[in-house]
Structure 1
Amino acid sequence: MKKLFAEFFGTYWLVFGGCGSAIFAAGIPNLGIGFMGVALAFGLTVLTMAYAVGHISGGHFNPAVSFGLCAGGRFPIKDLLPYIIAQCIGAIAAAGTLYAIASGKTGFIIDNAKAGAFASNGFDAFSPEGYSMESAFIAEFVLTLFFLLVILGATDKFANGKFAGIAIGLALTLIHLISIPITNTSVNPARSLSQALFVGGEPLSQVWLFWFAPILGAIAAGIIYKNILQNNSES
């Protein structure tokens, strides 16, 4: 249970900090942090929670990461579903908290016809810069694949594990710097689901891509690392 609580709190912090920065701080005229600040916020959430609770649960905070580690032989398949449930509950709880805070501002409303509403992900008209479904799929697949390669490499027993959290956090920052204009960046099915549930409409109907592409990319990374990159002496 401690592991599941760690995943709950880690995913909660990721969504609250990352999506919260996009909702509250990104667009303030002259003082807003912009998408570069949002990218850094997502990276910082993972970095801080990796050191806070990573030693308890492994610090996944993301269903795609759990799938990728499972495919790479680093995580038992029997724990996959409980982890995903804990992650999704944490993400939804964080989105609910963000909604409660945002609702305290006069005139607050979620416009589910607007790209990126409530930090949601999307493609076509719901992509921040109008990228197609195919572009969104490729971006989410490739970026999640490389995110998992970083995670698998940084946490390898031959790597310097003390710096793993830094490498992983910076990787997630870089991923957001690349893909916020494309999909508003997912690489995390729980993060996508939580925001889409509160937005509804087309963003919710598109959330399938932000489960399918990241999970496929993560599984591919796990297979690649285990069979091509991993030191043979580990086998």
Structure 2
Amino acid sequence: MSRSTIRINPNDSSPSDIFPKFATEGIDNGFQQPPPLRTRLICELIGTCLFVFFGAGCAVNSPDLLTVSAAHAIVTMWLVYVLGPVSGGHFNAGATIAFAVDGKMKIIEIIGYLLAQAIGALCAGGLLVWVFGTGTTLGTPGLHPGITVIQGFAIEFLCTTVLSFVIFFTTTYNSQKEAAFPIGLTVFSSFLLGAGRDGAALNPWRWLGPAVFSNTFRSTAWIYGVGPITGFLCGYGIFRLYKLIWNGRAGPYV
């Protein structure tokens, strides 16, 4: 059995494609076919750009923990709600790599998504320096005083592990539109926990865009790439284990 055909709900007969047909049954909305790859890549570029721009921009404007957390959560929710049905709403290298391991993406899609997201993050960095000018870190995440590298990595890893599990769990049961709210709440909780300690990125692109345009490169910056990616993979692994326990059968593709 292919991993791409596995469903957690044994009564679920819906298609397993993570890029569903955009046309709504019974409604003539003008979309007669599934979104082509070029459209999905544009959505990933725009979504990543807006996530980094609004999240980092709010961090520049206000150091208040609640405000920064709410900003990242809200932008996540409306991006997943609006663009999720088209591209899957990744906007995060960790999410794309986790879906790739899940066997639901072709090689060309994986490469295209990562490149589109990277370009989107850099576009966001350019917008940030245009709006806020030079002389600031443009909201680039960094370790706060007294926080060790191990602690910072642990925050990125643990928060993205939870986020990954929530993403896989909710999108298995629901559409991206329905999953947008719990995913956004998870982001909100994660930033409340981490933003005041390591700056919180939870996404390699959230660090990259502001870092490049503010020239903010530290020896500890690796945690904002390695932490989220390994966290997403761990969350996916936990979700797979959960499905094994649910189904009560042995084997790697149960």
Normalised by the length of structure 1, the TM-score is 0.83
Q: CA deviation at 1:152?
A: 0.4
2:161 to 145, 156, 159: 145
Question: What's the C-alpha RMSD, in Å, of the aligned pairs?
Answer: 2.0
- Partner residue of 2:221? 207
* 1:53–1:67 distance in 2 versus 1, CA, 3 Å: same
1:82 correspondence with 2:112: yes
1:46 correspondence with 2:76: yes
Aligned equivalents of 2:206, 2:177: Cα separation in 1: 26
Q: Number of paired residues?
A: 212
Larger radius of gyration: 2
* 1:201–1:42 distance in 2 versus 1, CA, 3 Å: closer
1:171 correspondence with 2:186: yes
Q: CA deviation at 1:145?
A: 0.6
8 Å CA contact 2:124, 2:210 repeated in 1 = no
2:199 to 184, 192, 204: 184
Q: CA deviation at 1:227?
A: 3.2
Residue ranges of structure 1 left out of the alignment (5+ in a row): 28-33, 111-116
Q: CA deviation at 1:143?
A: 0.7
8 Å CA contact 2:159, 2:202 repeated in 1 = yes
Residue identity matched to 1:97: L
1:228 correspondence with 2:215: no
1:94 correspondence with 2:124: yes
8 Å CA contact 1:193, 1:207 repeated in 2 = no
Q: CA deviation at 1:161?
A: 5.5
Residue identity matched to 1:45: V
Residue ranges of structure 2 left out of the alignment (5+ in a row): 1-37
Residue identity matched to 2:238: I
Aligned equivalents of 2:212, 2:237: Cα separation in 1: 32
- Partner residue of 1:31? none
Cα deviation code 1:198-226 (max 9, x no counterpart): 232543x4332211111111111112212
- Partner residue of 1:12? 49
Percent of pairs identical after alignment? 27
1:22 correspondence with 2:59: yes
- Partner residue of 2:141? 121
8 Å CA contact 2:85, 2:175 repeated in 1 = no
Q: CA deviation at 1:129?
A: 3.9
1:196 to 195, 211, 218: 211
> More helix by proportion, 1 or 2?
1
